[in-house]
Structure 1
């Protein structure tokens, strides 16, 4: 039986990534909770993801870098969820195909996005994934993002599987899926229409996944 793992941003959620303003707002909220007043330059760095600069600024301000990062990730998830609830960010029209695939074979969600958001999206969209894996809210968790296959391999271990298909919309997805020993499916969306990627399969829609599963399961 073929396991199918799906990326989230650009596959389920419209657009390839979290809006930078979400991270800016999350950093500001985390700093306010920690009761510190950074310089404008420090604040710009806190809104970004450069770990070494963030660690240095945290030391200068007398706050725990790990706690700041955890708070920033948490508030970024909250901002993302609010944008989904309000309709500011939508889902693609073809995602019902994921439910059809799930009726045939184990499915999972594996994303560079945060674990908290991955779990929210799975519930929000009504998907019954067998495994949901996003990044951990730590510096180390952030560094394990694709193209590192860490989270894909972790999901496969949870499923007790070694073979399957990883569906993504970026070259990093394809690199990570291949490194984890999976077939890869590159999904064409408006933001990646002209990219050239060496994936096992090239898809115009999620509706094509079911035929891949059926062909993989054929003797």
Structure 2
């Protein structure tokens, strides 16, 4: 197990800088493709070493392009190694993710990958998997629990680099004056971590998603409502 985790970590360290760079420059479609590729690389050691074994991927949903491309990357890696990958679609339900992990523990799969909705609420299930000898790979959302490894991007650092580039552009091309809009998942710790890198003026700058119309529009995008330490926002 220790050897497997070390191989995972080595792969992620070697690809981390490139992933963060892609996230800073074009973190929409290109980032999801990059993360899918990194996930495929991270999966390679375990499925090559355990050909014929079963892996489980617990997803947020299968509507958003971000998550479907992560699934495609995992499927490609599993297929290349002759391993079986089963995918669970939680349909944005944190409780369903917990139930799925518990079911996969009983099913004795060889590894579990999870894109966590509620990173705090999922910790007991992740701990149970680890105690059963099943490694858990956290994708994007940082669980900070008993997961074996995490594959994703440092959102704060990516935002810092974006903010630095944006500030330089505004000073150079716009005489230092501009309004900045931040579009992200409402209530997401990832969004708050990133947007916090832009200083706000009290009484003048509006928080992302403050108006109800934006809230409804955001919820229709299919993006995960919470990650990295914050529970999912279920307000209507």
Same fold at TM > 0.5: no
Q: Which has the higher contact order (CA 8 A, sep 6+)?
A: 1
TM range (shorter): 0.3 to 0.5
TM-score normalised per structure 2: 0.32
TM-score normalised per structure 1: 0.34
